[in-house]
Amino acid sequence: MDILTLFVVVPILTVLVLVFAKGLKQVRIISLVGMLVQLGMAINLIFAYLKERAINKDIMVFTQDYTWYESFNIHYAIGVDAISGVLIALTAIVVVAGIFISWKIDDLPKEFFITLIILSAGVFGFFISLDLFTLFVFYEIAVIPMYLLIGIWGSGPKEFSAMKLTLMLMAASALLSVGIFGIYFNSNADGGALTFNILEIAQVNIPVAAQNLFFPFVFIGFAVIGALFPFHTWSPSGHASAPTAVSMLHAGVLMKLGGYGVFRIAMYLLPQGAINWTDFFLVLTTIGVIYGALAAVMQKDLKYINAYASVSHLSLVLFALLMLNKTAWTGAIIQSLSHGLLTALFFALIGMVYGRTHTRDIAKLGGIMKILPFIGSVYVITGLAYLGLPGFSGFVAEMNIFVGAFEHTDTFRRILTIIVVSSIVVTAVYILRMVGKIMMGPLVNEEHAELPKATWYEKVGLVLLMIPVVFIGMMPFGLSEMIKESVTPFLERLI
Amino acid sequence: MIEGISIYEILSLSSVLFFIGIYGFFTRENLIMVLMSIELILNAAAINFVIINTYLYPDFLQGAIFSIFIIALAAAETALAIAIIINLYKLVSSVEVKDTEIMKY
Amino acid sequence: MNYSYVIAIPLIPLALFLLLGLFSKKIPPSISGWIGSLGLGTSFALSLYTAYHYYIEAKVNGIYQTFVYKQTWLAFSDKLHIDMGVLIDPISVMMLIVVTTISFMVHLYSRGYMKGDDGYTRFFAYLALFSFSMLGLVLATNLFQIYIFWELVGASSFLLIGYYYTKPSAVAAAKKAFIVTRFADLGFLIGILVVSYYSGTFDFSELNNPEGFMISNWASTSFMGLSVFTWGLLLIFMGGAGKSAMLPFHIWLPDAMEGPTPVSALIHAATMVVAGVYLVARLFPAFYFVEDGFALTIVAYVGAISSLFAAIIALTQNDIKRVLAFSTMSQIGYMMLALGVSKYDGHEGLGFMASMFHLFTHAMFKALLFLAAGSVIHAIHSNYLKDMGGLRKYMPVTHITFLIAALSISGVPGFAGFFSKDEILAAAYEHDMLIYISSVAVAGLTALYMFRLYFGIFWGKDTQYEHIPHESPWSMTLPMLFLAVMSVVGGYIHFSEFVSADHIPFEAHLNYSLAAIASGVGILGIIIAYILYKKETNLPDKISNTFGVTYKWAYHKFYFDEIYLFVTKRIIFGLVAAPMAWFDKYVVDATMVSIGNMTVSFSNKIKGLQSGKFQDYAMAFISGGVILAIVIFYLWL
């Protein structure tokens, strides 16, 4: 079995074993072991990639191709470059952290972990796919379990939120499938057979008219899950209703599928369409960045704050992708990583605070730092990292994006760039407002004077997420070089 | 070949029969009556089979055989339908069409 | 010569921070204070060693050489990359001395001041973090590195102001400091982007190179009538103004006094707040040459106005730390205006030298003032002048050291402040009369408010204290005594032989007539303060009443806070963010939900078709068949 297929097989095996597990203890041990194997494989993949890259200069390495459905030329084609490699590592980390955070889940634990792991299998499959059809299938596998996870294990108006989330994402999938079939039926533009294979389509010059037609379908199809304004409204209510681990996985990983899909499919396969449509979408993403940040300032629910913050930060990813140059693209990928880790941290922390105080209303919280020093400290550090403090991953990502965006000299992009840069101030406002209100200050509610301290599994989960944040922030050189190299073929398509 | 009666008269008869059946099928309130209307439709079809067979291919018997099939089928269908209607009657104490809407939406 | 060991100077505090931060629970307070002080002591010794070697040996043909050691940290493109490294030149070495001296003294002092506090170890960890960031800032080799450490000092300042995090006012002040400086840093960042995009480099040595692209080609690009580089430099200066609490970004500094007093001494008096001055000095050739110094003129006027403005406010405040904060702002304005009026070469570059000189002496006496104020606050547990008076009897050491510092800042001949202030005034006199006059006025006001403070604390009314105030322990007074010595002898250093704009030492002489005017004004201020505040009288009230509205405005700091509050709360939050949140909830989200609801209601409308009557279905089936048949017959055949 090749190194990549294992990423799908291990979760499936874990699920199969889980079916026979009894009791919470067995379930979580099995899930943890399975996902730790996955994490080990992901780290191994990064090193194997670097080793392979030294000798293999192909766009994708570890490629495999199996025919799946011959008459439509559908293959199970897989391969990774640095971009998918690092996102796989991100997914593995967030999933393991999510399992630690859900250590004590008491409501249908077996089913919960099974659904969670199926979801992660979809995500892993998505990142390794090189075939549009396979990729789409894995995308759906990743999105659908979300409905169950929110609808069954959620809180508040969970059915409504789950329904809204799933329906909006399904509507986007419909657009996406139109776009994918549009690409498929134009993939013989230079002669040759119709194909779903991304690398093969990348060799074809799809007619410009078709590119212009299908680019918005693919872009919006993916960007909805990447929280593109005005299609972001599923995210706040969805996150607010979802259980902690699901919020983490959703904001941390699933929303990254949007940016990745836009980049890998819309930008790579429809470069001309991308050039022609950037102005329009740049305006939307710029609105998203500043709008999400300002909306976050006004929220009262911790999860809503974080959800709108995610809208802002992920719009930044799309904004950077639309800037169509190497520096901004590198920034977009690092921002995906960084946001994935940081937002997972935030949701984990919010979950811990909520689990102890049973409220997420910032007016009813205050002075938690004194009672929960560990959680409080990590909260403050995460907040500082989130607002782009140097030494953490967010800074590296944002600076790449800003420098890249500034490479465009036209007034239109300059203005948008400056608007987007100004979001760092608004980010500081809402982060400090939240941190200052709930962690610092006097104790608001006397009932919170005695709260259980952070347990070992919570600490492990948080530390696990914090390590890469600091690592990327301190030593970004290797990562950014690795991503830059993988971004180059995308850049060549634009010319 | 029947002396003095052309195929037109017979076909007209079967058509009339058929449309009476259709009309009955759509308008009757009682399920038994609807079932009888279906019998009329089937019989109209059976007559057509026989008469066209006689006029077009007098040496073959397919039409006649088909009409026998239809009769058998009609019997089976009636048996089934009556069984359903009886069960329905047990459930709603009625054989009216308007009382069978409980499965809608 | 190899100066790469200088990297250890910031790395020692970083190691301390990690050690104390990660194991804050495990390390007992009795040890952590010593660890911190010892570490900073090492950095201090290393800085002295560096300075000794540099100023003695680094001259080639009478010019101080610049040494750069760097490593690429993050590459954006082939040309633009962030390097991490150390840059050794006269001003960075001078700043090393300032930062490590003050930091070391503050560490020693804090061992006494913070004794018994819950977060003792945490406090030292933050101090170490700050020292690391500040030293990294000082040693930065390029714009982006300085920005990185700029943000880090901002964050450590946030943590230290909010050190008493259960106090709402401290939290609010910390937030305010961070957000206001962050807003200014937005300008800094955009400035970096502008400058680096057009010049193709972040490197200071490249940007300051008179033959480099920026200085030789500034006229090649223009935007709204000015060179793009001028805009870039002005935006960078905006960042500097934010950190250095220049108008209109000064509002955070007075509130920042909510932090523990040693922090105020270290960050908000001596080191971080002069980062803006240091930034302008670091880019001085660029500021001077681009657009013939247009940006520098702005710097001069911002500095002059801020210094006058702050001095007026300082007269009216009652919280001793706030008086000192406004005094800091005023003195930094001095440094800014000195830079602003400076020219580049030789004796013309007097302003540059004067600015750095004043930065050095100011760091010593202002840190001392804060430490002495901390000692007072430590003794009587109040910040307000009304609770003080007659303390000279109880706290002799604090009294003497405070007096020395006050004399020094007032520019009384013989003390350090006299020398540096004289150079600034001389530079201003040579280049801009308006600025000179305002600076002389500020000199008088400085003496007045300092001695108002001095007499108010140590003389004045004989307050009856509930607990008899005690002199602080030697761990606190020792650093104060050291700084008191520095506040006197610091002035006798021949600064122009070490620091100059073009790295060529020159001779600076006292301008006796100007010095006489300045010290005369200063002494006049002291005499007025003596008359008004030596004994408790109602004279000050009378005077403030005669000023009426002006006094009220100054007391309320010219309503700057209220204006900011209005703009942010009412306009940005009230008129933009709140409607936006409303829009999101009731328009965007509602649209999405209503699309869903429309689908539901549409299906509700058409569900009648599924009537459950088989006869309806049969009707539809048959009529469909008939229509299909007609269509096929008539249209196809």
Local confidence pLDDT in tens for the 495 residues of chain A: 688 888 888 999 999 998 888 888 888 888 899 899 999 999 999 888 888 888 888 888 888 888 888 888 888 888 888 899 999 999 999 999 988 888 888 788 888 889 989 999 999 999 999 888 999 999 999 888 889 889 888 888 888 889 888 888 898 999 999 999 999 988 887 777 888 888 888 888 888 888 899 999 999 999 998 888 888 888 888 888 888 888 888 888 889 999 999 998 888 888 888 888 888 999 999 999 998 898 888 888 888 999 999 999 999 999 999 988 888 999 999 999 999 999 999 999 998 888 888 888 888 888 888 888 888 889 999 999 998 888 899 899 999 999 989 888 888 888 899 999 999 988 998 999 888 888 888 888 888 788 888 888 888 889 999 999 999 988 888 888 888 888 888 888 887
The count of other CB atoms within 10 Å of the CB of residue C93 is: 26
Establish how many alpha carbons lie within 13 A of residue A127's alpha carbon, considering only the half-sphere containing its beta carbon: 30
Compute the nearest-CA separation of A423 from chain C (Å).
Answer: 9
Q: What is the Cα Rg of chain A in Å?
A: 21
Question: Is the separation of the CB atoms in B50 and B64 below 8 Å?
Answer: yes
pLDDT of residue C575: 81
Nearest CA in chain C to B24: C615
Q: Measured between alpha carbons, how far is residue B7 from residues A130, B4, B20, B40, B46 in Å?
A: 70, 10, 20, 19, 15
pLDDT of residue B1: 62
Compute the nearest-CA separation of C614 from chain B (Å).
Answer: 8
Judged by a CB distance cut-off of 8 A, whether residue B78 touches chain C is no
Nearest CA in chain B to C620: B26
Residue type, A378: V
Tokens 């008469």 belong to B51
Note whether C611 contacts B104, CB cutoff 8 Å.
yes
Contacts of A161 in chain C (CB under 8 A): none
Is the per-residue pLDDT at C197 higher than 90? no
Compute the nearest-CA separation of A435 from chain C (Å).
Answer: 10
Question: Is the separation of the CB atoms in C71 and C83 below 8 Å?
Answer: yes
Compute the nearest-CA separation of C313 from chain A (Å).
Answer: 28
pLDDT of residue C527: 86
Subunits next to B (3 or more Cβ pairs <8 Å) are C
Q: Which of C82, C183, C577 sits opposite A298 (nearest CB)?
A: C577
Q: How far apart are CA C135 and CA C97, in angstroms?
A: 10
Question: Is the separation of the CB atoms in C34 and C20 below 8 Å?
Answer: no
Note whether C618 contacts B26, CB cutoff 8 Å.
yes
Nearest CA in chain C to B98: C613
pLDDT of residue C625: 92
What 3-state DSSP class applies to B6? Answer: coil
pLDDT of residue B105: 63
pLDDT of residue A336: 92
Candidates A310, A315, A399: best to mutate against C (most CBs of C within 10 A) is: A399
Note whether B104 contacts C614, CB cutoff 8 Å.
no
Average pLDDT over residues C473-502: 84
Tokens 């790449």 belong to A400
Tokens 């069978």 belong to B100
Is the per-residue pLDDT at C336 higher than 70? yes
Subunits next to C (3 or more Cβ pairs <8 Å) are A, B
Establish how many alpha carbons lie within 13 A of residue A322's alpha carbon, considering only the half-sphere containing its beta carbon: 26
Question: Is the separation of the CB atoms in C420 and C491 below 8 Å?
Answer: yes
Q: Which of A163, A400, A424 sits opposite C76 (nearest CB)?
A: A400
Q: What share of chain B is helix, strand, coil (3-state, %, to 5)?
A: 80, 0, 15
Cα-based angle C41, C240, C479 (whole degrees, multiple of 5): 25
Which of A231-240, C276-285, C379-388 has the weakest average pLDDT? C379-388
pLDDT tens for residues B17-36?
999 999 999 888 888 999 99
Q: Is A31 left (phi over 0), alpha (psi -120 to 50) or beta?
A: alpha
pLDDT of residue C471: 79
Judged by a CB distance cut-off of 8 A, whether residue C591 touches chain B is no
Contacts of C577 in chain A (CB under 8 A): 294-295, 297-298
Question: Is the separation of the CB atoms in A27 and A459 below 8 Å?
Answer: no
Note whether A403 contacts C581, CB cutoff 8 Å.
no
For the four alpha carbons of C93, C96, C98 and C104, in that order, the dihedral sign comes to negative
Is the N-terminal amide bond of C13 cis, ω within 30° of 0? Answer: no
Straight-line distance from the first to the last Cα atom of chain B, in angstroms, rounded to the nearest whole number: 52
In sequence order, the 6+-apart residues with CB closer than 8 A to the CB of A9 are A1
What 3-state DSSP class applies to C70? Answer: strand
Confidence of residue C577 (pLDDT cuts 50, 70, 90): confident
Tokens 């800091």 belong to C328
Q: How far apart are CA A309 and CA C322, in angstroms?
A: 36
Contacts of A332 in chain C (CB under 8 A): none
Nearest CA in chain C to B30: C615
Question: Is the separation of the CB atoms in A472 and A338 below 8 Å?
Answer: yes
Residue type, C33: G
Q: Mean pLDDT per segment of 10 residues, for chain B of length 105 residues?
A: 79 92 90 91 91 86 90 93 91 84 70
Q: Is A337 left (phi over 0), alpha (psi -120 to 50) or beta?
A: alpha
Judged by a CB distance cut-off of 8 A, whether residue B34 touches chain C is yes
Question: Is the separation of the CB atoms in C438 and C304 below 8 Å?
Answer: yes
Q: How far apart are CA A131 and CA C456, in angstroms?
A: 80
Distance of CA A402 to the CA centre of its chain: 20
What 3-state DSSP class applies to A156? Answer: coil
Q: Which of C208, C309, C207 is nearest to C250 (CA)?
A: C309
Give the β-pairing of A61-69 and C67-75: unpaired
- Please, where are the H alpha helices in A323-372? 326-357, 368-371
Compute the nearest-CA separation of C600 from chain B (Å).
Answer: 14
And the tokens for C145? 């590195």
Note whether A403 contacts C155, CB cutoff 8 Å.
no
Note whether C581 contacts A167, CB cutoff 8 Å.
no
C82, β-bridge pairs: C74
Note whether A389 contacts C151, CB cutoff 8 Å.
yes
DSSP string covering C223-265, please? ETTEEHHHHHHHHHHHHHHHHTT-TTSTTHHHHGGGS-HHHHH
Compute the nearest-CA separation of A393 from chain C (Å).
Answer: 12
What 3-state DSSP class applies to C411? Answer: coil
For A169-218, the three-class secondary structure string (H helix, E strand, C coil) is HHHHHHHHHHHHHHHHHCCCCCCCCCCCEHHHHCCCCCCHHHHHHHHHHH
Contacts of A480 in chain C (CB under 8 A): 74-75
Contacts of C622 in chain B (CB under 8 A): 22
Contacts of C172 in chain A (CB under 8 A): 436
Contacts of A370 in chain C (CB under 8 A): 165-166
Contacts of A418 in chain C (CB under 8 A): 190
- The helix or strand, by DSSP H or E, that contains position C227, with its residue range, turns out to be strand C226-227
pLDDT of residue B2: 67
Touch of B by C (3+ CB pairs closer than 8 Å): yes
Contacts of B103 in chain C (CB under 8 A): 612
Mean pLDDT of chain C: 85
Note whether C611 contacts B101, CB cutoff 8 Å.
yes
Is the per-residue pLDDT at C39 higher than 80? yes
Nearest CA in chain B to C618: B26
Cα-based angle C367, C369, C372 (whole degrees, multiple of 5): 105
And the tokens for C115? 């004794």
Candidates C126, C175, C185: best to mutate against A (most CBs of A within 10 A) is: C175
Q: Which of B43, B41, B3, B1 is nearest to B21 (CA)?
A: B41
Helices (H) and strands (E) in chain A, counts: 22, 2
pLDDT tens for residues C387-419?
777 777 788 888 888 889 988 888 888 888 888
Judged by a CB distance cut-off of 8 A, whether residue C609 touches chain B is no
Q: How far apart are CA A160 and CA C593, in angstroms?
A: 10
A-C CB pairs within 8 A amount to: 134
Q: How far apart are CA C355 and CA C338, in angstroms?
A: 5
Contacts of B95 in chain C (CB under 8 A): none
Contacts of A298 in chain C (CB under 8 A): 573, 577-578, 580-581
A78, β-bridge pairs: A64, A129
Contacts of C155 in chain A (CB under 8 A): 384, 389
pLDDT of residue B12: 92
Q: How far apart are CA A101 and CA A249, in angstroms?
A: 11
Judged by a CB distance cut-off of 8 A, whether residue B100 touches chain C is yes
Compute the nearest-CA separation of C193 from chain A (Å).
Answer: 6
Q: What is the pTM of this model?
A: 0.88
Give the β-pairing of C222-223 and A61-69: unpaired
Subunits next to A (3 or more Cβ pairs <8 Å) are C
Which residue has better confidence, C24 or C169? C169
Is the N-terminal amide bond of C10 cis, ω within 30° of 0? Answer: no
Q: Which of B26, B97, B105 sits opposite C607 (nearest CB)?
A: B105
Establish how many alpha carbons lie within 13 A of residue A222's alpha carbon, considering only the half-sphere containing its beta carbon: 30
